[in-house]
Amino acid sequence: MQEELLMIPGPVPVIPRIREAMSRPMISHRSDEFSAIYGEIVDDLKRLFQTKNDLFVLSGSGTCAMEAAVGNLTGITSANINGTEKTKPQSSVVTIVNGKFSERFQEIAVRYAGRDAVTPVRFNWGDPIELEEVKKALEKSSDPEVKANANANANATRKIVTMVHNETSTGMLNPAREVGKLARKHDAVFVLDCITSIGGDDVRVDEFGADIAIVGSQKCIGMPPGLAALSISERAWDLIAENRNRPYYQDLLAYKKSFGKGEGQRQTPYTPALPLFFALHEALKVIKEEGMAKRIERHRRLSNAVRTAISRLGLYLFPTLNEATDYSNTVTAIKTPLAAGITDELLRGGMRKKGVIISGGQEELKGKIFRIATMGNITETEVLRTIAALEEVLAENNFIERVGNGLEAAEEVLL
């Protein structure tokens, strides 16, 4: 029986050699052997991130790293003001929101900094980010005291801006480089979610000006869920060091201390998920063997094949884009042809019966779009199988007259 094919934006299919790596015997996480593995992992991830900043691996999902980033940078402190004990935020946070996962950043920021300290810059899901609106938000301060403290201490950056680089809920790529420039101009720490772009697109963390960048293990790196990594700049460390309300398990200073003991002593502060570290070590070897330039081009070619096939089949891509944004290199969002009587249940349910699992829309887009991912170690074979299943479902529901046009279009791109 043919194995179900996951074509969703994580978790992704895991190739045998990475699965086998997880079955290695356990070792001590305080041993020289683990230290060597962890050191190699960090070196390889730095090349993947294209960064010279510090980098650490957390035993947790991408959301764990998002929370670690925001929770280490900001919090709420108590102060005695005119004889009255009051709370105040340590930082103001500008959250750029135009999809599901950027909304998650906002929710985390509100939890740690307080609602009054968070300024969301909202756009409709799938709409491009308007840089002028981001600029206006950064020019304001949600707390005069925060601004005054920042002016008094030139070493303390008191503004934070968060953005999702590759918004998989809408299938679009957001302008990281341009937002990074705005963050620098306004002396803000830039936190960039690259969970679904690093390893599948040309992500230049240092060039983008990202003070904290994040990746998740079950996306373009091509391994199971459960690990995340962050890179952290000196500017971010300055703000983290001042925060007395850092999370305990996600305390990034603890990770820095454990890793910074020197060669042979690369450790995590708490017990790591060892089988997943073995898998990550192997997955990074796979990436090195392929070469990043070829890997990025493969992701681009596969996503282009999907989009070309979609257009040939008379379907429409979801986002409306401008010159500042682009389609995702790792996932394609497509409008569900509801007007033709094809519901989400008919389309995705029909494909599942054929052994191919794709994603639907989330929240306000539920039932309105479906999404096909092309991330990780996916090959042409899996893409063609997905297009074939989609064509069969469309034909069964009288949306197209013949099967084959989509496959032909995809093959033109792939071959």
Q: What percent of the chain has pLDDT over 90?
A: 86
**Shared domain check, 388 and 250:** no
261 and 330, same domain (yes or no): no
Give me the residues paired with residue 217 across strands.
Answer: none
**Same-domain status, 107 and 169:** yes
Residue 1's pLDDT band (cuts 50, 70, 90): low
Residue 301's contacts (CB-CB under 8 Å, 6 or more residues apart) are: 413, 414
| DSSP SS3 for 185 | helix
Confidence of residue 152 (pLDDT cuts 50, 70, 90): very low
SS3 content of the chain, % helix, strand, coil (to 5): 45, 20, 35
> Is the pLDDT at 2 greater than 80, yes or no?
no
Shared domain check, 295 and 179: no
Q: Last residue of some domain: 245, 266, 287?
A: 287
The pLDDT, as a whole number, for residue 3 is 85
**Could you tell me the pLDDT band of residue 398, with boundaries at 50, 70 and 90?**
very high
Tens of pLDDT, residue by residue over 61-79, are 999 999 999 999 997 666 6
Going by C-beta distance under 8 Å and a sequence separation of 6 or more, which residues neighbour residue 289?
Answer: none
289 three-class SS: helix
Query: In total, how many domains does the chain have?
Result: 2
Q: Do residue 235 and residue 318 come from a single domain?
A: no
Please give the pLDDT value at position 158: 78
The pair of three-digit structure tokens given for residue 204, joined into one six-digit string: 């230049």
Q: What's the predicted TM-score (pTM) here?
A: 0.93
Do the Cβ atoms of 324 and 175 come closer than 8 Å? yes
Q: Distances from the Cα of 232 to the Cαs of 14, 210, 211, 217, 239, in angstroms? A: 28, 8, 6, 18, 11
Query: CA–CA separation, 95 vs 111, rounded Å?
Result: 13
Q: Is the pLDDT of residue 83 over 70?
A: no
Same structural domain, 121 and 224: yes
Task: Write 16-19 long-range contacts (CB < 8 A, 24+).
Answer: 17/282, 17/286, 18/222, 18/223, 18/279, 18/282, 18/283, 18/286, 19/279
Query: What does pLDDT average to over the chain?
Result: 92
Query: 144 and 163 share a domain?
Result: yes
**pLDDT surpassing 50 at residue 305:** yes
Q: Tell me, yes or no, whether 235 and 152 share the same domain.
A: yes
Q: Give tens-digit pLDDT for 320-370.
A: 666 556 899 999 999 999 999 999 999 999 999 999 999 999 999 999 999
Question: What tokens were used for 5?
Answer: 């094919």
**Which of 221, 254, 287 corresponds to the end of one domain?**
287
pLDDT of 142 higher than 60 = no
Measured distance CA(49)–CA(206) in Å, rounded? 8
Peptide bond into 89 cis (omega under 30): no
Question: What share of the chain in percent tops pLDDT 70?
Answer: 91
Same domain, 254 and 318: no
Q: Please report, for the domain that includes residue 337, its CATH number.
A: 3.90.1150.10
**240 and 329 share one domain:** no
160 - beta bridge partners?
A: 93, 189
- pLDDT at position 154: 37
Query: Facing residues of 276 across strands?
Result: none
Domain that holds residue 328: 5-10+291-414
Q: Which of 266, 287, 308 is the last residue of a domain?
A: 287
Beta-bridged to residue 369, according to DSSP, are: 335
Whether residue 89 sits in one domain with residue 25: yes
C-alpha closest to that of 387 among 35, 2, 7, 1: 7
Are the C-beta atoms of residues 34 and 27 closer than 8 Å to each other? yes
Residues 318 and 395 in one domain: yes
Please tell me whether residue 97 adopts helix, strand or coil conformation.
strand
Strand segments (E) across 195-313: 212-216, 227-232
Residue 158: is it exposed, middle or buried by C-beta count within 10 angstroms (0-12/13-18/19+)?
buried
| Per-residue pLDDT tens over the stretch 93-139 | 999 999 999 999 999 999 999 999 999 999 999 999 999 999 999 99
User: How far, CA to CA in Å, does 162 sit from each of 93, 134, 226, 257, 390?
Assistant: 8, 11, 22, 26, 36
Tokens of 340: 């033709």
Q: What is the pLDDT of residue 93?
A: 96
